[in-house]
């Protein structure tokens, strides 16, 4: 059992609440390999139901409803026009949903008894729900037949529980959504990839149909509409139209107010741009200590997003913190590519990204060997580059650190559901239509779908139904500040890594050099996060058996971002360590020890002995590379559509 004080041996995975009848059909427990869920949170004391359910001014309410109708008519017209234009330049079914659900229909038709049995179970559940609702209407006390899973924020308004009609709507929805997903999960005759795609998109459909997403079935929205004479819908339509216009006809949901200015109140760590080429600006940050470790630290963030996730605010800036620990910190700021760079390849990112940065650090400091960090796709590129360097006897990297970075993609999570030949073909066509790049908004939508209720539907309710303006939130501002992807590098990445898993299999070549991760024998530090839905911890753990040198693997609390950006001063979350390296991640976790707080000090304790002696602090521009610009540079300020 893990030394965590918890009975949960595995990282949690979203699970659906189950009805009693549905549970009986699955036997005892979960299917082999299914993830455990978090222990239920203790119930909170119920708040009193709202009694304010009146229209304050009928005349104003009627006038506002007329305005809402006019806005809706304009919105529908603009949407139809945009869809007509979009159909001429983009694939009609880019996600290949028609093919996927055709396979589902075929599989279900071969077993009609499954659907008949499932329909009987649903009817049985509805009969029981109706009986309980009738008893409640007569004043009797009843327990809910089905409840939202722990952590489901959609039904937190007290009127979902305390007003019978809304409680009935909520339970009806949960029964149907659970039944739909359970039925799909029991269909046989599908290969694993198709089955997972069907389950994923079935959940997307169920989430979209939640009663919380509609005015008349969400008590908070309906109550607000009456109390404000419909002003919330007027404001909501304005927000919606603004987001449609900002997205060029696509819906670009605003998650944060525009209260941030790069280089002014976000990405403010002092430093200089000391090198620039077509793909990168290299930032060197100003020291805050009189001496520093001899060996510089070079960071390669993901080029899917911008580097300042590591420098949001002074209090949570990883870059500032590492500078304070006495490191000469360099960070690559990737270009936001346009059509001019569409043919830049994955190998170009290695040569003009990693190799160019290594050369620049050497020129700036005189140090030939550096320690490196790779985050997410930046870490995947770094791992492939290290294998290339090992094959070509290039020893300029002394140690490597990976944040949420995968090398084996056999368990890459739900992102792998977007990568198969039909989808890749549609993606390639869409990128050609966009000048050879993937729009940043397309990538952002894909990531948001992985947590649709939190990152899509919660903002639909808040922005459009309640008519609220999002609050300034640095993390969500960064999340929306996405970058474009060049077609050549992006398609190579999706095909070779996600689809083929070529690097882990030893089948990947870069510049005609075959890559073997076993030849990477430098010290490696692997960070993963327990709730990471983009780079699952099980997937990252596989690297411990792919590389040939000493490896320290740690598991952080939280997810893909908060699991990394967790300064010690915050005193949040925890991390787990285990010096053993068993074959399976689950075995590793059972023997792991929990530590409260941030894992950053653990990294520094590991990195210090690998960083050399202390030398006088280096100022940006003091070496052979003159300062070209103030940090954070110019590339980071280029916005995507």
Which architecture, in CATH terms, is 271-637?
A: 3-Layer(aba) Sandwich (3.40)
pLDDT digits (tens, 9 = 90+) for 278-298: 999 999 999 999 999 999 999
Phi-psi region of 238 (alpha: psi -120 to 50; beta: other; left: phi over 0): alpha
Rounded distance between C-alpha atoms, residue 444 and residue 442, angstroms = 5
**CA dihedral angle for residue 149, residue 152, residue 155, residue 158, rounded to 10 degrees:** 90
Give the pairing type, strands 551-556 and 574-577. Answer: antiparallel
Provide the pLDDT for residue 88: 65
Q: Where are the domains of the chain?
A: 20-30+89-228, 271-637
Cα(421)–Cα(412) distance, integer angstroms? 17
Is residue 537 annotated as part of the catalytic site, yes or no? no
Name the token pair of 531.
């709730």
Residues of the chain with pLDDT under 50: 1-50
Q: What is the pLDDT of residue 450?
A: 87
The string of DSSP letters for 357-401 reads HHHHHHHHHS-S-EEEEEETHHHHHHHHHHHHHHHTT---EEEEE
Question: Phi-psi bin for 588: left (phi > 0), alpha (psi -120 to 50), beta?
Answer: alpha
Query: Which residues lie below 8 Å from residue 390, measured CB to CB, with a gap of 6+?
Result: 516, 519, 520, 521
As to burial, measured by CB atoms within 10 angstroms (0-12 exposed, 13-18 middle, 19+ buried), residue 611 is: buried
Whose structure tokens read 């994923």? 200
Choose, from 129, 376, 450, 465, the residue flagged as catalytic: 376
Structure pTM?
0.86
**pLDDT per residue as tens digits for the range 22-55:** 433 333 333 333 333 333 343 344 444 445 788 8
Q: What is the DSSP letter of 211?
A: G
C-alpha pair distances (Å), 44 with each of 38, 147, 350, 593, 628: 17, 14, 52, 31, 56
Within 10 A of 536 (CB to CB), how many other CB atoms are there?
25
């Amino acid at each position: 059992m893990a030394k965590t004080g918890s009975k949960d041996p595995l990282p949690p995975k979203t699970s659906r609440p189950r009805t009693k009848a549905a549970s009986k059909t699955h036997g005892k427990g979960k299917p082999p390999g299914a993830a455990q869920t978090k222990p239920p949170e203790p119930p909170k004391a119920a708040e009193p139901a709202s009694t304010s359910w009146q229209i304050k001014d009928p005349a104003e309410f009627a006038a506002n409803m007329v305005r809402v109708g006019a806005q809706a008519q304009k919105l529908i017209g603009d949407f139809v026009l945009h869809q007509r234009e979009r159909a001429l330049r983009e694939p009609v079914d880019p996600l290949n949903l028609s093919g996927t659900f055709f396979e589902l229909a075929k599989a279900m038709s071969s077993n009609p008894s499954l659907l008949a049995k499932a329909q009987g179970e649903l009817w049985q559940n509805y009969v029981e729900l109706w009986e309980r609702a009738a008893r409640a209407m007569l004043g009797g006390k009843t327990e809910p037949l089905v409840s939202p899973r722990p952590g489901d924020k959609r039904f937190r308004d007290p009127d979902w529980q305390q007003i019978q009609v809304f409680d009935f709507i909520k339970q009806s929805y949960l029964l149907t959504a659970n039944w739909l997903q359970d039925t799909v999960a029991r269909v046989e005759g599908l290969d694993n990839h198709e089955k997972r795609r069907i389950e994923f998109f079935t959940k997307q459909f169920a989430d979209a149909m939640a009663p919380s997403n509609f005015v008349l079935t969400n008590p908070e929205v309906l109550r607000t509409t009456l109390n404000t004479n419909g002003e919330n819908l007027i404001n909501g339509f304005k927000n919606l139209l603004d987001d449609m216009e900002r997205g060029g006809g696509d819906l670009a949901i605003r998650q944060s107010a525009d209260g941030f200015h790069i280089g002014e109140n976000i990405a403010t760590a002092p430093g200089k741009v000391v090198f620039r080429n077509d793909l990168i600006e290299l930032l060197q940050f100003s020291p805050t200590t009189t001496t520093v470790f001899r060996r510089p630290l070079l960071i390669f963030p993901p080029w899917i997003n911008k580097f300042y996730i590591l420098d949001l605010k002074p209090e949570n800036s990883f870059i500032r913190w590492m500078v304070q620990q006495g490191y000469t910190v360099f960070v690559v700021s990737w270009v936001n590519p346009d059509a001019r760079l569409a043919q830049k390849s994955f190998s170009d990112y290695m040569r003009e990204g990693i190799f160019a940065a290594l050369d620049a650090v050497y020129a700036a400091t005189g140090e030939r060997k550096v320690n490196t960090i790779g985050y997410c796709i930046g870490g995947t590129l770094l791992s492939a580059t290290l294998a290339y360097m090992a094959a070509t006897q290039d020893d300029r990297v002394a140690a490597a650190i990976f944040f949420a970075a995968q090398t084996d993609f056999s368990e890459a999570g739900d992102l792998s559901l977007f990568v198969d030949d039909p989808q890749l073909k549609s993606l390639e066509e869409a990128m050609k239509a966009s000048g050879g790049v993937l729009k940043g908004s397309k990538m952002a939508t894909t990531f948001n779908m992985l947590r649709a209720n939190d990152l899509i539907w919660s903002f639909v309710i808040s922005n459009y139904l309640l008519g609220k303006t999002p609050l300034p939130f640095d993390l969500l501002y960064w999340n929306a500040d996405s970058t474009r992807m060049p077609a050549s590098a992006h398609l190579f990445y999706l095909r070779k890594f996600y689809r083929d898993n070529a690097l882990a299999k030893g089948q990947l070549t870069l510049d005609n050099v075959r890559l073997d991760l076993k030849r990477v024998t430098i010290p490696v530090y692997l960070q993963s996060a327990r709730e990471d839905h983009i780079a699952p911890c099980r997937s990252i753990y596989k690297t411990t058996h792919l590389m040939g040198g000493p490896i320290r693997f740690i598991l952080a609390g939280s997810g893909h971002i908060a699991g990394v950006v967790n300064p010690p001063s915050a005193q949040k979350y925890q991390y787990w360590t285990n010096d053993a390296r068993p074959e399976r991640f689950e075995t590793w976790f059972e023997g792991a020890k929990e530590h409260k707080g941030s894992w950053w000090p653990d990294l520094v304790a590991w990195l210090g002995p690998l960083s050399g002696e202390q030398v006088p602090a280096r100022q940006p521009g003091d070496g052979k590379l003159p300062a070209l610009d103030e940090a954070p540079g110019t590339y980071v300020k280029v916005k995507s559509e």
